[in-house]
Every structure is written in C-alpha cells, then in structure tokens.
Amino acid sequence: MKSSFKILIAIALVIGLMVMSFIGTYNSLVSKAEEVDSQWANVESKLQRRYDLIPNLVETVKGSMKQEQEIFGQIAEARAKMAGAKTTEEKVLASNQLEGALGRLLVVMENYPELKSNQNVSKLMDELSGTENRISVERDRYNAVVRDYNKKIRSFPNNLMARAMGFETRNYFEASKEAQTAPKVNF
C-alpha cells in the first residue's frame, strides 16, 4: 500500500512539473508576442507622426515647385496607401513607398535654393528629419524584439508548444528595394 502511494505521489509530481513547465512556456510565449505587438505600436506612432507632417511640408513647398506635380502625386498616393493599410505587411510596404517618395521630394528640393532659405520649410524639414530618426530607432527595436520572439518560438521544445498554440513567426521591418539606391542630386 505504501509503495503504490509513493508511486501515485511521484506520478502527481511529474504531472505537476509538466503542467508548470507548460504554463511557464506558454506565458513566456505570450509575453514575447506582446512585446512584438507593443513595439509595433511604437513604430506605428512614429509613422503616424511622419504621415501628419507630410501635408504641411508638401503645402509649404508646393507653391515654389509647380512643375514637380508628379512627386506630389506619388506622396499623396503613398499617404493614401498608408491610411488604408490594415496588416503589418501592408503598413511596411506603404511606409517604404512613402519613404521613397519623400526621398525624391528632398532631392528635387535641392534644386530650389529659395526653399532652403524658407524658415517654414526649414522647420518642417528638421521635424521630418527628427521623425525619420525616431522611425529608424523604433524599426531597429521592433526587429530586435521580433528576432527574440522568433528565436523563442522556433527553438526546441518551445516550437512544439508554439505550433500547437498557434504562435507564428513575425516578419521583420525591412527596407524597400528603392532604399538600396541613393537618390541623385543634380545642382
């Protein structure tokens, strides 16, 4: 009787340890997933700041650059895509398109010395530059959090539970193909 009682206690302890391990792993995976979501929210807030600054910059610059309507159209199209983006992937693509259009605008602005001396343009450019730096920092942080999360759900034995519980790898925020080529400035 005592030996069967000891066996039951041993089985209960093993099951208890397995359940505690399962709970700990699950909570850890949830925590990592929340870190990714939280960091993505930080990226989105910086993207929104850029989105809000762009109309002011465009309107300030538009009067001096009547012949550059194509770039303004590209910026408007990119902003519309950003506003309509629902998934992380759509938002990344729209952000990259907007970034490319802004890069082209900045290159064109170099050909207009009167814009460089305009205080409103200068102030908006400084704000936009600061925003771009913030976006870069948040993207880097997001990618670091995604890396940690993906490592966690892909490593053994976490991968077994992650797959069973529906945890999936997340995509990195990657630069657009246009970012690989520096814009050309002609004076």
**What pLDDT band is residue 45 in, cutting at 50, 70 and 90?**
confident
Give me the DSSP letters along 114-153. Answer: HHHH-HHHHHHHHHHHHHHHHHHHHHHHHHHHHHHHHHHH
Instruction: Give pLDDT, residue 187.
Output: 34
| CB burial readout 19-35, b (16+ within 10 A) else e | eeeeeebbeebeebbeb
State the chain's mean pLDDT as an integer.
81
- In terms of pTM, does the model score above 0.75? no
Nearest by Cα to 94 from 103, 86, 85, 102: 85
Mean pLDDT across 151-168: 91
The secondary structure element, H or E, covering residue 40 is helix 2-62
Kindly report, residue by residue over 114-150, the tens digit of the pLDDT.
Answer: 666 667 777 777 888 888 888 889 889 999 999 999 9
Return the minimum-mean-pLDDT range out of 19-23, 76-80, 172-176: 172-176
Q: How far apart are CA 44 and CA 49, in angstroms?
A: 9
Length of the chain: 187
Delimit the domains of the chain by residue range. Answer: 43-180
Kindly report, residue by residue over 46-98, the tens digit of the pLDDT.
Answer: 888 888 877 777 777 766 666 566 777 788 888 888 888 888 888 888 888 88
What count of other Cβ atoms lies within 10 Å of the Cβ of residue 175? 12
